[in-house]
Amino acid sequence: MLAVARHEHQPAGVPAGGHAISIHGVVKRYGSIVAVDGLDLEVPPGVCFGLLGPNGAGKSTTMRMLTAQALADEGEISVLGYELPRESKQSRLEMGVVPQLDNLDVELTCRQILMVFARLYRVPRGERPAAIERALELANLVGRADTIVRELSGGMRRRLLVARGLIHRPRLVLLDEPTVGLDPQVRQELWSLIDGLRTGGVTVLMSTHYIEEAERLADTVAVMSNGRIIAQGTPVELVRAHAGEKVLEVYGPPDRLAEVSELAAGNGWSSRRSGPAVAIMRAETLDGLAPEGALRPANLEDAFVALTGEEIE
Partner 1 sequence: MSALAGSAPAAGSAPTPARSARRVGRLEPAALAGVMSRDVAIFGRYWKATTFSSIVQPTIYLLAFGLGLGAAVHQVGHVPYKQYVATGTVATAVLFSSAFPGMFNTFIRWQFQRTYDAVLAAPVDVEELITAEVLWISLRAGVYGLAPLLVAIAFGMQPEAGMLLVPFIAFVTGFGFAAFGVTIAAVAKTIDNFNYVTSAVLTPMFLVAGTFFPISALPDGVRQVAQVNPLYHCVQLVRDASLGGLGSADLGHAAVLIAFALIMWRLAISQLGRRLID
CB proximity list for 111: less than 8 A, separation 6 or greater: 132, 136, 145, 146
Based on the shown chain and the rule CB under 8 A, indicate whether residue 30 belongs to the binding site for partner 1.
yes
Based on the shown chain and the rule CB under 8 A, indicate whether residue 155 belongs to the binding site for partner 1.
no
Q: Rounded to the nearest 10 degrees, what angle do helices 184-199 and 154-165 cross at?
A: 10
Contact map string, positions 35 to 74, toward partner 1, x by CB under 8 A = ----------xx-----------------x--xxxxx---
Q: Which stretch binds partner 1 (CB under 8 A): 13-21, 225-233, 237-245, 248-256?
A: 13-21
Distance from CA of residue 17 to its chain's centroid?
23
Shortest Cβ 255–partner 1 spacing (Å): 50
Based on the shown chain and the rule CB under 8 A, indicate whether residue 134 belongs to the binding site for partner 1.
yes
Shortest Cβ 129–partner 1 spacing (Å): 14
Based on the shown chain and the rule CB under 8 A, indicate whether residue 34 belongs to the binding site for partner 1.
no
Shortest Cβ 113–partner 1 spacing (Å): 8
Radius of gyration of the chain (CA): 22
The C-alpha atoms of residue 118 and residue 104 are separated, in whole angstroms, by: 14
Amino acid at 137: E
How many residues touch partner 1 under the rule CB under 8 A: the total is 61
Tell me the CA distances in angstroms from 209 to 88, 131, 237, 269, 271, one per residue in order.
27, 32, 19, 26, 21
Based on the shown chain and the rule CB under 8 A, indicate whether residue 169 belongs to the binding site for partner 1.
yes
For residue 107, the SS3 value is coil
Q: Which stretch binds partner 1 (CB under 8 A): 84-92, 252-260, 286-294, 305-313?
A: 84-92
* Identity of the residue, 87 or 245, whose beta carbon is nearer to partner 1 in the bound complex: 87
Question: From the list 115, 132, 221, 290, which residue makes contact with partner 1 (rule: CB under 8 A)?
Answer: 115
* Identity of the residue, 73 or 262, whose beta carbon is nearer to partner 1 in the bound complex: 73
Contact map string, positions 184 to 203, toward partner 1, x by CB under 8 A = --------xx--xx-xxxx-
The C-alpha atoms of residue 34 and residue 28 are separated, in whole angstroms, by: 6
Strand order in the sheet with 33-43: 33-43, 21-30, 74-79, 82-84
Classify residue 166 by its DSSP letter: T
Q: Rounded to the nearest 10 degrees, what angle do helices 235-243 and 300-308 cross at?
A: 60
Which residues lie near partner 1 (CB under 8 A)? 1-2, 4-5, 8, 10-16, 30, 45-46, 64, 67-71, 81-82, 89-90, 92-94, 97, 99, 101, 103-108, 112, 115-117, 119-122, 134-135, 137-138, 164, 166, 169, 171, 192-193, 196-197, 199-202
